[in-house]
Amino acid sequence: MKLAVAGKGGSGKTSISGTMCRMLARDGYKVLAIDGDSNPNLALTLGVPAERMNDLPVLTRDLLERGDDGPKLAKSLEEICRTHSLQAPDGVNLLVMAHPQHAGTG
Amino acid sequence: MHLAVVGKGGAGKSVVAGTLARLLARRGHRVLALDSDMMPGLALSLGIEQPDEPPLLGAVEKPEGGRWRLRKGIGPVRAVQRYSLPAPDGVRLLTAGKTDAEGMAPIMGAVRGFYSVIHRIDEPQAFKEWTLIGDLPAGPRQVAFDWAPYAHRYLVVVEPTWKSVITARRVIRLARSRRDATVMVIVNRVSAESDRARVEKMLGEPALLTIPDDPAVREADRLGRAPLDHAPDSPAVRAIEKLADMLDREAGSE
């Protein structure tokens, strides 16, 4: 089962997806939560303490390498999850896309 | 006075930007409201209908094999003259355009045109006297990608929630990295006496102003009406009035 949650800002995307992730994990599913928002807040809803929000593991540039048909992942998804994901409560795994740190980057 | 309103999704950016634009216009400012959000918002908060098609599509052309650009002879002044929309109280609204079921493609030209206009808006003398109020989409992305090059001041709208505060932190960090830009924190949807102090502590920044949580604004939102028309005497509109007075005094003393 692969779901994406979309909608207007403030409409509750993060609250719905984060809560759903943990409930499904409690039901025995292996859950990978992916925060693709350039303003990533999913960790908070999953129950990661606010103090940890400043040093979330993010997906770094070196995970991509140049392949014959454009960029490809340098490692397997399993490996990336092992090294770059965050363990959230109920066993949910969280991957966070990078967020813009300085003006003119991203 | 050139402002940009930023913050988390649903924090109340459009309500603040739209209401403030009209209140400053009532105080004698020539106001240009700039809507770079590809989702609807500012037009409704100003009290006009969002056009189906962005007027700026008329201002751009796409040369064979090239990129969208402003048509020859159209600079920021003419673009605003011809392609901004009139809103109540004499406000003009320039909008980048809204995505629809077909996505970005039909409005790409307008978005590019909008981006060039805002990047050249400080060139002519004309806009130095204007009050510019930009309503940016949720989060830090457009701040990072320079969608408010005109802004000397960022109004950061934040709710008393962690998600909102963490977003505000990111936005403030980016805004501060811009030359000569200052930051003003506005705490919105305040329902308890302690909310202001809580946000200030979580954020590590003083707040300039609080806006109360106001059912009248929620109702206006549901109806798709401008809070200023629907509930002019509501506590939230009154609070934004205080902000308008503050900014007006400041502009007068410059």
Rounded Cα distance, A49 and B160, in Å:
16
B141 pLDDT tier (thresholds 50, 70, 90): confident
Strand ranges, E, within B36-151:
60-61, 69-70, 85-86, 92-95, 131-135
Q: Tell me, what DSSP letter sits at residue B234?
A: S
**What is the pLDDT, as a whole number, of residue B222?**
92
Rounded Cα distance, B142 and A47, in Å:
28
Widest CA span of chain B, in angstroms?
60
**What is the pLDDT, as a whole number, of residue A102?**
53
**What is the pLDDT, as a whole number, of residue B197?**
97
Partners of residue B6 on adjacent β-strands: B156
B139 to A37: CB separation less than 8 angstroms, yes or no: yes
Distance from CA of A98 to the nearest CA of B (A): 11
Which of A21-35, A49-63, B42-56 ranks highest by mean pLDDT? A21-35
Rounded Cα distance, A93 and A103, in Å:
30
ipTM of the complex: 0.74
**What is the pLDDT, as a whole number, of residue B111?**
92
Whether B254 has a pLDDT exceeding 70, the answer reads no
Whether pTM exceeds 0.80:
yes
Whether B146 has a pLDDT exceeding 90, the answer reads no
**What is the pLDDT, as a whole number, of residue A101?**
61
B19 pLDDT tier (thresholds 50, 70, 90): very high
Interface test mutation site (partner A, options B161, B166, B217, max chain A beta carbons within 10 A): B166
Interface test mutation site (partner A, options B50, B141, B171, max chain A beta carbons within 10 A): B141
- For chain B, say whether A10 makes contact (Cβ under 8 Å): yes
**CA angle, corner B139, sides to A23 and B154, nearest 5?**
150
Q: Tell me, what DSSP letter sits at residue B51?
A: P
Helix (H, G, I), strand (E, B) or coil at B18: helix
**What is the pLDDT, as a whole number, of residue A55?**
80
Rounded Cα distance, B67 and B63, in Å:
7
Mean pLDDT across chain B, nearest whole number? 93
B227-238 pLDDT, tens digit per residue, is: 999 999 999 999
B138 vs A contacts (CB less than 8 Å): 9-10, 39
In sequence order, the 6+-apart residues with CB closer than 8 A to the CB of A14 are: A37, A41, A42, A44, A45, B163
**What is the pLDDT, as a whole number, of residue A106?**
37
B210 membership: H or E segment, kind and range: strand B209-212
Nearest Cβ partner for B138 among A9, A101, A106: A9
Residue B175, token pair as written in the block: 């805004």
A36-94 pLDDT, tens digit per residue, is: 888 889 999 999 998 888 788 888 888 888 888 888 889 998 899 888 999 999 999 99
A39 vs B contacts (CB less than 8 Å): 8, 138-141, 167, 170
Cβ proximity of B175 and B143 under 8 Å: yes
Strand order in the sheet with A32-35: A32-35, A93-96, A86-87
Window 29-88 of B: residues touching A by CB (8 A cutoff) are: 39
Helix (H, G, I), strand (E, B) or coil at B5: strand
Cβ proximity of B183 and B176 under 8 Å: yes
Whether B156 has a pLDDT exceeding 70, the answer reads yes
